[in-house]
């Protein structure tokens, strides 16, 4: 299945012969790829199956498999307050509003994760700033990959 970003990118190169086009596409940075798509690609390469944006589970996990009982949230660092991350800035104006807002987000995330664990799910959080970092993804998703019963592929 092609992602939206890839589709848009290929539309832009419609007039170019396909061989040249694929060479260009490989060279184009994946700026339009969302963090969720990046994690989905990573999991698919590991052979895991899942659904995206699963609304029937607490907090609509970005990726989840109800049969294998795993769920993954891909969190934006700013909104979900990734600790010690440079994207986790705090606006100076309306400081009180933001403080409350962030507190609510953190509390909601915690509630959702707990609710899923109570349902027997293995839960992982992936931060948007680490989706391009394969070793960190491996670490963050190790338990899920193990639970899904998929053998790790040899690293290239
Ligand atoms: Zn971050």
Q: How far is it between the farthest Cα atoms of the chain? A: 55
Q: How far is the CA of 127 from the centre of ligand 1 (A)?
A: 5
Q: How far is the CA of 12 from the centre of ligand 1 (A)?
A: 31
- Alpha-carbon distance of 82 to 44, in angstroms, equals 25
SS3 51: strand
Q: How far is the CA of 29 from the centre of ligand 1 (A)?
A: 20
Q: Is residue 155 part of a domain?
A: no
Q: Is residue 28 part of a domain?
A: yes
Q: How far is the CA of 76 from the centre of ligand 1 (A)?
A: 7
Q: How far is the CA of 93 from the centre of ligand 1 (A)?
A: 22
Query: Residue 7: what pLDDT?
Result: 54
Query: Residue 31: what pLDDT?
Result: 55
pLDDT for 95 beyond 60: yes
pLDDT 10s digits, 5-43: 555 554 444 565 666 666 666 666 555 679 999 999 999
Domain span including residue 9: 1-33
In a shared domain, residues 28 and 50: no
pLDDT 10s digits, 58-93: 999 999 999 999 999 999 999 999 999 999 999 999
Structure tokens of 107? 């509390």
Question: Mean pLDDT score of the chain, rounded to an integer?
Answer: 86
Q: Is residue 119 part of a domain?
A: yes
Q: How far is the CA of 96 from the centre of ligand 1 (A)?
A: 22
- Alpha-carbon distance of 25 to 47, in angstroms, equals 24
In a shared domain, residues 29 and 59: no
In a shared domain, residues 111 and 131: yes
CB atoms within 10 A of CB 121: 23
In a shared domain, residues 28 and 56: no
């Amino acid at each position: 299945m092609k992602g939206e970003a890839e589709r848009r990118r290929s539309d832009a190169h419609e007039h170019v012969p396909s061989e040249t086009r694929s060479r260009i596409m490989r060279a184009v940075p994946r700026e339009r790829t969302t963090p969720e798509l990046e994690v989905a690609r990573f999991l698919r390469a590991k052979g895991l199956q899942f659904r995206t944006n699963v609304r029937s589970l607490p907090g609509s996990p970005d990726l989840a498999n109800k049969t294998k009982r795993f769920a993954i949230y891909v969190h934006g660092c700013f909104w979900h307050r990734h600790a010690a991350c440079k994207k986790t800035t705090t606006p100076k104006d309306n400081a009180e509003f933001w403080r409350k807002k962030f507190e609510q987000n953190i509390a909601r995330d915690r509630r959702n994760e707990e609710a899923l664990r109570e349902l027997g799910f293995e839960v992982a959080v992936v931060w948007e700033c680490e989706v391009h970092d394969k070793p960190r993804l491996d670490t963050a998703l190790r338990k899920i990959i193990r639970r899904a019963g998929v053998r790790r592929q040899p690293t290239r």
